[in-house]
Amino acid sequence: MPDSVLNARIAEAIDRFQEAVKNRLSTWESAQDPVRFRRMEMEVAATARAVADEICGAVLQSTAQSPAFQKETLMAARRSGRYRGGDRRPVEVTLLGGRKVVVRVPYLKPDRRGCVGRPRGVGRRGQGGAGLYPALAALGIWFGVTPALAAEVSSQVADSDSLRTGVEALARRGTQLGLKQAHRIVNDCSQRCVQQRQEWMQEALASGAPVAGSLAGERVVIATDGGRLRQRCPKKRGRTRKETGRRGYHAPWREPKLFVIYTIDEQGRPQKMRRPVYDGTLGDCNAMFALLSSYLKALDIAKARQVIFVGDGAKWIWERAASLLSTLGVPAERVTEGIDFYHAAEVLHEIASIPADWSTFHREKWIKRARRHLASGHITAVVAMIDQLAVGRRAKEVKSHRDYFERNAHRMQYSQFKKAKIPRGSGAIESTVRRVVNMRMKGNGTFWLEENAEGMLMLRSYLKAGRLDDLMDWSFFRAASWWNPQHNDAAEELDEAA
């Protein structure tokens, strides 16, 4: 579309907006009570969104249907070697305000020549939709929606307590979407982010080139913990229900594992100028530490001035923490490991509840004395107090807690931590688990398919760290990594044989 035509379309849209404002201005001025003024505000916002969508739609059609742009994006996509020639197809794209526009753009089919597959006519067809619209992908348009709408829907649904609440919040802002459409957008975006993260992990662990925002020279705190959610596992056998035609499902508990990386100043306070890094996975302990390792390697953790690893007493954490940092090149003298003080204090309460003949006063007196030793870092004194209780029938139960303090004595030097301005608690990761998992993904009647839960976990992690826009931009660019707008080989002829 020539610039003159585009300018004319935009001018027409602005003229219609001005005419609408002129026609409604007298009515808007009469809004002199709260109810009518609120309705006036919403009407003005809806009118503005309509003209915004008209302008964006005109720009999209002008850009995506430009012969030069289509030729450049087509060549760039085909140079990647994954696609071959197709045809031009009309595609309906939903804009940020909910308006739909149709653009006619080239389509490339996946190049499967030379790939071993099933014989023709045998078995079922594979999943469709593996092709590409280069002109749309170069603009970040996937799944039939613009990048701004995809990011907005992902953000709102991830931030709300349910899909329905998120869709209702979008509707109040003028974006009308159905539940199924919003669900598809969120799942497609989040699962693509998870897949891209897996690819990036392999690259980061292979090369490990530090990124902008390196942790060099910083005091870095790393904390990890697990949460809980219910997984939806469809039954593969049994009778189908008459009303739904489904077999039902199992709902086992799963433990998503999360980590947080943040920096502190000389007084031990989190640095507000540096946003933390949150992420997690439904995988096992090894998967979580592999994910953490890729982040730390990319952030150049080996050059950090001090690394503080904080957690509770879970063995899966401390069996891997030291080897992780050593593998990443962090000298042992720069590493401090710390058990959360309040988790350790909870264990003391559990021990004090074992003697059945103790009074409340005796129990509280014992806890107070043990906590004083714990806060001072005198773990040998705490172990001695535990040994004094390990008599008679309660000996076995009491001794089961003894190993916790003996094994983690060097991680419980709380008086030294206080002097060195080192966090004694794991409040950062506890808060992360609560905000990322508990407030959205854990609840009565809430069950997750594994792939959906993994995607939502990543969206929530980046959202609560204030990095969701960065994640969306990174995902859009990576999805079309073959496209570089600065690279212009318009003179190069298309390889028709491809």
pLDDT 10s digits, 186-235? 999 999 999 999 999 888 888 756 665 588 899 999 999 999 999 988 88
Tell me how crowded residue 64 is: count the other CB atoms within 10 A of its CB.
25
pLDDT 10s digits, 121-155? 555 555 555 788 999 999 999 999 999 999 999 99
Q: Which amino acid is at 450?
A: E
pLDDT of residue 115: 65
Confidence of residue 27 (pLDDT cuts 50, 70, 90): confident
Mean pLDDT of the region 312-317: 90
**Does the pLDDT of residue 40 top 80, yes or no?**
yes
280-284, 291-295, 305-309, 491-495: range with lowest mean pLDDT: 491-495
pLDDT of residue 454: 95
Alpha-carbon span 265 to 218, nearest angstrom:
8
Confidence of residue 440 (pLDDT cuts 50, 70, 90): very high
Report, in angstroms and rounded to the nearest whole number, the Rg of the chain calculated over CA atoms.
29
CB 133 within 8 A of CB 105: yes
Q: Is the pTM of this model over 0.75?
A: yes
Which of the residue ranges 3-12, 45-54, 369-378 has the most confident prediction, judged by mean pLDDT? 369-378
Q: What is the mean pLDDT of the chain?
A: 88
Mean pLDDT of the region 14-43: 88
Mean pLDDT of the region 425-451: 91
Alpha-carbon span 414 to 421, nearest angstrom:
10
pLDDT of residue 296: 93
Quick one: which of 352, 297, 356, 305 has its CA closest to 327? Answer: 297
Per the model's pLDDT, the better-predicted residue between 131 and 35 turns out to be 35
Strand 83-84, strand 109-110: pairing: antiparallel
Q: What are phi and psi of 278, to 5 degrees?
A: -115, 145
pLDDT of residue 119: 61
Alpha-carbon span 339 to 223, nearest angstrom:
10
Alpha-carbon span 62 to 13, nearest angstrom:
15
2 CB-near residues (< 8 Å, 6+ apart): none
Collapse the DSSP code of 493 into the 3-class scheme (helix H, G, I; strand E, B; otherwise coil) and give the result. coil
Tell me how crowded residue 283 is: count the other CB atoms within 10 A of its CB.
15
pLDDT 10s digits, 352-391? 999 888 899 999 999 999 999 999 999 999 999 999 988 8
Instruction: For the chain, give the number of residues.
Output: 498
Mean pLDDT of the region 20-36: 88
- Could you give the angle at which helices 379-389 and 395-407 cross, rounded to 10 degrees? 170
DSSP state of 270: B
CB 482 within 8 A of CB 77: yes
CB 353 within 8 A of CB 410: no
Tally of helices (H runs) and strands (E runs) in the chain: 18, 13
Alpha-carbon span 185 to 455, nearest angstrom:
12
Mean pLDDT of the region 42-52: 89
Mean pLDDT of the region 330-347: 94
Mean pLDDT of the region 158-167: 94
Mean pLDDT of the region 309-336: 92
Alpha-carbon span 344 to 364, nearest angstrom:
16
Per the model's pLDDT, the better-predicted residue between 352 and 114 turns out to be 352
3-17, 44-58, 191-205, 309-323: range with lowest mean pLDDT: 3-17
pLDDT 10s digits, 261-297? 999 999 999 998 889 999 999 999 999 999 999 999 9
pLDDT 10s digits, 66-108? 999 999 999 898 888 778 877 899 999 999 988 899 999 999 9
Percent of the chain at pLDDT > 90 equals 61
Complete domains list, the chain, with CATH: 208-236+247-338+443-448 (3.30.420), 342-414 (no CATH)
Confidence of residue 28 (pLDDT cuts 50, 70, 90): confident
Q: Cα dihedral sign for 300, 453, 95, 175? A: negative
Q: What are phi and psi of 97, to 5 degrees?
A: -80, 0
CB 258 within 8 A of CB 432: yes
Q: Look up residue 273 and give its two tokens.
A: 């100028």
Confidence of residue 114 (pLDDT cuts 50, 70, 90): low
Alpha-carbon span 190 to 178, nearest angstrom:
18
